[in-house]
Chains A and B, each alone.
Chain A
Amino acid sequence: QKEVEQNSGPLSVPEGAIASLNCTYSDRGSQSFFWYRQYSGKSPELIMSIYSNGDKEDGRFTAQLNKASQYVSLLIRDSQPSDSATYLCAVNMGLDSNYQLIWGAGTKLIIKP
């Protein structure tokens, strides 16, 4: 059974601090890794994709991938109240199917003003 694990939270972070969200996955063949943000009552929105080991930065967001340890993380710098949402980690199903993603249950992030 291929799995993606996330801490459900809630993770509470003061405004202006760095929020760190983590995700582990079971399939060593996975090649594509995604972070989605989902506000309450809304649909998931893609915020970062990463395909190679190391860091990828986009504005206040940094995705980090370590394939050897099978984890991917998302850092949010200078956290804002508008960052309060559930963050979903998704990983492709490796060699079985590049189209399909395996989803974590999400981490609820709360930014305290």
Chain B
Amino acid sequence: NAGVTQTPKFQVLKTGQSMTLQCAQDMNHNSMYWYRQDPGMGLRLIYYSASEGTTDKGEVPNGYNVSRLNKREFSLRLESAAPSQTSVYFCASSEEAAGEGYEQYFGPGTRLTVT
């Protein structure tokens, strides 16, 4: 049981290049999320998918697109990378815990540098 996996772990892009960050979970969770984390700041939600077939914008969606490929996989695409997108990107998944809240579980992260 790998939990949440992300690829790649590290990436360096030049301004204007595109790339897709991959995320997969094997916990059969319905909801998945993409966050970015910058130094000294909390996690900021980019996009989320409450269930297979749906995606919604989070706090900072500009410059990103997502695809919920199936229940397991949720990808994040940068169409034209900018230096402001240099960050650590985390994917997470969640399921309602015993009828209460949605506990989120995180992947190891992708460290992206845009030059």
Could you write out 25 A-B pairs with CB less than 8 Å apart? A31-B100, A31-B101, A32-B101, A34-B101, A34-B104, A42-B108, A42-B109, A43-B90, A43-B106, A43-B108, A44-B43, A46-B105, A49-B97, A49-B103, A51-B101, A88-B42, A90-B43, A98-B96, A98-B102, A99-B48, A99-B94, A100-B45, A101-B104, A103-B44, A105-B42
Contacting A at CB under 8 A, from B60-115, are 90, 94, 96-97, 100-109
Q: Which residue of B lies closest to A93 (CB)?
A: B45
Q: Chain A: how many interface residues by the 8 Å CB criterion?
A: 24
In chain B between 23 and 77, which residues have their CB closer than 8 angstroms to a CB of chain A?
31, 40-45, 48, 50, 58
> Residues of A contacting B107 with CB < 8 Å?
43
Determine the chain B residues whose CB is within 8 A of the CB of A44 once the complex forms: 43, 90, 106
Tell me the complex Cα distance, A34–B45, Å.
16
Say whether chain B's binding surface is mostly helix, strand, loop, or mixed.
Answer: strand
Nearest CB in chain B: distance from A65 CB, A: 12
Interface of A is mostly: loop
Q: Which residue of B lies closest to A106 (CB)?
A: B42
Alpha-carbon distance A88/B90, docked complex (angstroms): 14
- In the complex, what residues of A have CB within 8 A of residue B104's CB? 34, 46, 90, 101
The chain A residue sitting closest to B40, CB to CB, is A105
